Amino acid sequence: MGRPRVRSAGWPRVRSARVGDAEQLARLFDQLGYPQPADTLRGTLENTLDDPRAGVLVADRDGVLVGAATCYFVPVAHERRPWCRITTLVVDEGQRRRGVGRMLLQAAERAAQDAGCSRIEATSALHRTGAHRLYERLDYGRTSAHFLKRL
């Protein structure tokens, strides 16, 4: 892998989200196209954080969230080990192309390994070509089509 990059002061650290992050997460999710009031998100976040098969990771730079990723550890009937599905990856618009997305994905991969998952997959809207390039750079391959029906 080569020599590790030296991180300067103020570089974000990835940590698990806290309920108190709801307001900043609402700002990030709004940038992703999923607007919701912080109060609504706070309740959803509480439920998600209480679920042992879910994880919410944030990139925190000195108390300011600059990115987030959500992942779920999904049991599947046709394999012995669960899969990890990344359902959200967002980096603040002013912080993109600085390695934050890579940090979040690597943290999600570690969480998936710790949960005993056999694979990790990400869903991404067709118009998010920048995110697609990031996934491909990190060895995620396009292996299937994703079909969605809202209920």
Residue 104 domain-assigned? yes
Q: Check pLDDT > 50 for residue 5.
A: no
In a domain, 115, yes or no: yes
pTM of this structure: 0.86
Interval 78-107: pLDDT, tens: 999 999 999 999 999 999 988 999 999 999
Residue-number span of the structural domain to which 69 is assigned: 13-137
Percent of the chain with pLDDT over 90: 70
Contacts of 138 by beta carbon, 8 Å cutoff, 6+ apart:
102, 105, 106
Residue 108 domain-assigned (yes or no): yes
149 found inside a domain = no
Instruction: With respect to residue 8, please indicate whether it lies within any of the assigned structural domains.
Output: no
Asked if residue 103 belongs to a domain, the reply is yes
Assess if residue 52 is contained within a domain: yes
Buried b (16+ CB within 10 A) or exposed e, 58-79: bbbeeeebbbbbbbbbeeeeee
Within a domain: 6:
no
Domain CATH for 28: 3.40.630.30
Mean pLDDT of 103-114: 95
**Overall number of domains in the chain:** 1
pLDDT of residue 9: 54
